[in-house]
Amino acid sequence: MVGKCEVTIEKIVRKFRSFEEADNADYEYYRTLSGNEKLQLLLDLIMPENPDASLIERSARVHPLAEHEQC
C-alpha cells in the first residue's frame, strides 16, 4: 500500500485589466521566491508522486552556469 500525502493548496483569484498587468504580477511573484522555492515548484510539476531512480535520472539534467547568465 502506498501512503497518501495530504497537500493543502491555497486558492487565490486576482482580476487584472490587461494580460500585461497579469504577466507583470506573475513575474513579481516569482521574483520574490528563493531559488529553492522555484526549484520545488518545478519538481512538483515534472516529477511523479512516487518516482523510481531511473525516472529521476532521465528527468534531471544539469546545465552549466554559462547557459543561465541572462536569468
Evaluate whether 56 touches 47 at the Cβ level (below 8 Å). Answer: yes
Distance from chain centroid for Cα 51: 17
pLDDT tens string 29-57: 999 999 999 988 888 887 766 666 666 66
User: Whose CA is closest to 56, among 46, 64, 65?
Assistant: 46
Output the pLDDT for position 17.
Answer: 97
Res. 7: pLDDT tops 60: yes
Predicted confidence at residue 27, as pLDDT, reads 95
CB-side neighbour CA atoms (13 Å) of 50: 5
Contacts of residue 48, defined as CB under 8 A and 6 or more positions apart, other chains included, come to: 55
**What Cα–Cα distance (Å) separates residue 8 from each residue in 25, 36, 40?**
23, 19, 15
Q: Is the pLDDT of residue 68 over 70?
A: no
pTM as predicted: 0.50
